[in-house]
Structure 1
Amino acid sequence: MRRCIKIENRKRNQTLSIRLTQTEKSAIISKAKKSKLSLNEYILKSSLQSEIKVVDLQPLLVELKRIGNNLNQITRKINSGAFNSYNFSEMIAMQRKIYDAIINLSEEK
């Protein structure tokens, strides 16, 4: 559920300070001008009306590490001659897809 705060009808008695580079500041001012809003209105609308997606990848990374450990154990047994080699190319390809999906999720933040 998204909360919407009316910007027009409220008393503004609080301040918030942030630090920016000159490039960041210029970009924000430019976007505010293009949207024909005051800088204050632009920042408020941008902050209050946009959602930030937070993805907790820790459980996935732990499981991926466990799978990697299992693959290493299997590889050691194959290399030591404990059992005949098996073609793991499909498993490796799936492992790569999982890894790529996790990387994509982490980059969306």
Structure 2
Amino acid sequence: MRRCIKIENRKRNQTLSIRLTDSEKSAIYKMSKKAQLTLTEYILKSSLKSEIKVVDLQPLLVELKRIGNNLNQITRKINRGAFNSYNFSEMIAMQRKIYDAIIKLSEEK
């Protein structure tokens, strides 16, 4: 009696299509050969072992908007002559923290 293999019983029965340029496809194919893996194994290992960090920049953007609003209010008061001098050290320190956070995020990508 002849046995039929059902597709549902296969371990890998799902497909995934992606669009690549010729150079991207060639590069991935070459790297898979260099790693001595099939194309499927190489893509799976590359994608499942790599961690992509997703960073929520919304809180940072909200804080930057607040700082911008504060700077505008201070500038208006200075231009109206409300005060002549102001210690901006706290604002500069907070801006430095935000700047450092942005730099750190850009380096992690």
Question: Normalised by the size of structure 1, how large is the TM-score?
Answer: 0.75
Q: What is the match of residue 26 of structure 2?
A: 26
Q: Are positions 1:71 and 2:71 aligned together?
A: yes
| Per-residue Cα deviation, 1:81-101 (whole angstroms, up to 9, x for no partner) | 111123537734752552353
Letter paired with 1:49: K
Task: Report SS of the residue matched to 1:47.
Answer: helix
The unaligned stretches of length 5 or more in structure 1 are 1-9
Structure 1 runs of 4+ with >6 Å offset? none
Distance 2:104 2:21 in 1: 27
Percent identical:
87
- RMSD over aligned Cα, in angstroms? 2.3
Larger radius of gyration: 2
| Per-residue Cα deviation, 1:36-91 (whole angstroms, up to 9, x for no partner) | 11111100111112211111011111111111111111111112111112353773
Which structure carries more relative contact order (alpha carbon 8 Å, separation 6+)? Answer: 1
Distance 1:22 1:103 in 2: 34
Q: What are the within-5 Å matches in structure 2 for residues 1-109 of structure 1?
A: 11-86=11-86, 88=88, 91-92=91-92, 94-95=94-95, 98-99=98-99, 101-102=101-102, 104-106=104-106, 108-109=108-109
Q: Report how many residues are paired.
A: 100
Question: Normalised by the size of structure 2, how large is the TM-score?
Answer: 0.75
